[in-house]
Amino acid sequence: MLLLAVAICLTAGVAAAQFERRGFGGARAAFATAKDFDGRFHFCRWVYRSALDGDGGNWNADWPRADINLSIRLGELTKTDVSMDATGEPNHLLIRLTDPELFGCPFVMATEVGRTFISDEDAAALRLYLDKGGFIWVDDFWGNYAWDHWVSQLRKALPAAEFPIFDLPLDHPMFHTMFDIREVPQITNIGFYLSTGETSERGTETVTAHARGIADSHGRLMVLMTHNTDFGDSYEREGDSPEYFQAFGPKGYAFGVNAILYALTH
């Protein structure tokens, strides 16, 4: 295992920690079952069906390394009791919206959601999950077409009149759950950054990163949408490049830890 000692600032240059490249397990493409839940935290990833007219990659972008690494860092940086297997690797889970195991996941993440297809059955399950206190974070989709496609699918579960989408203000509690987040960072994939030095993957169309949300009737954030940015790569690519990690790792982990802690406490 390659050791990467990096002085990493998680709070705008104040706190430093040493990070090591860890968590590179095999891809376990099995869906969660009831016996997988042990009362500890599991990173749950939504495996969605792909739409032919969508945009981007698929559900498995950044999987499984992002799921593993973010789980490890959550356990190290907080008191969260992360579920581990006998080898010390986090027990990350795959779920479908129609699986009953969805309701064992207080936090669910999905990537490249510009390609999702949500059936009526999926929509009903997602609505019930969110109504019961669930939280979903969707990430790594770029441009107007991908955004419009995702919203058109999401609206099958959450109608616009009842559930408006809003840009999270920087004083929103999620930005300050543990670390103080002062901007929505634009994180790009490692290949694009190292070859161009840029972060906007589609030029002027995607120059601004957004953190948008949908709240329930009590103001609890239940859907987090990070658009024109790729937090998953900042977790997946830990250790692959010191330059890339120093540019995006601290910001990515601070945001991700905040998002999970918010989901677990609201």
pLDDT digits 0-9 by tens, 10-59: 433 333 333 444 433 445 568 999 999 999 999 999 999 999 999 999 99
Q: DSSP string of 113-144?
A: GGGEE--HHHHHHHHHHHHTT--EEEE---HH
Regarding pTM above 0.95, the answer is no
> Which positions ≥6 away from 245 have C-beta within 8 Å?
4, 6, 8, 19, 234, 237, 238, 239
Residue 1 has pLDDT above 90, yes or no: no
> Which positions ≥6 away from 138 have C-beta within 8 Å?
109, 110, 111, 113, 150, 223, 224, 225, 226
Enter the DSSP assignment of 84. Answer: B
Q: Which CATH superfamily is domain 40-265 in?
A: Domain of unknown function DUF4159 (3.40.50.12140)
pLDDT digits 0-9 by tens, 108-129: 999 999 999 999 999 999 999 9
**CB atoms closer than 10 angstroms to residue 120:** 9
pLDDT digits 0-9 by tens, 145-157: 999 999 999 999 9
Domain ranges of the chain: 40-265
3-state secondary structure of 9: strand
CB 108 within 8 A of CB 46: yes
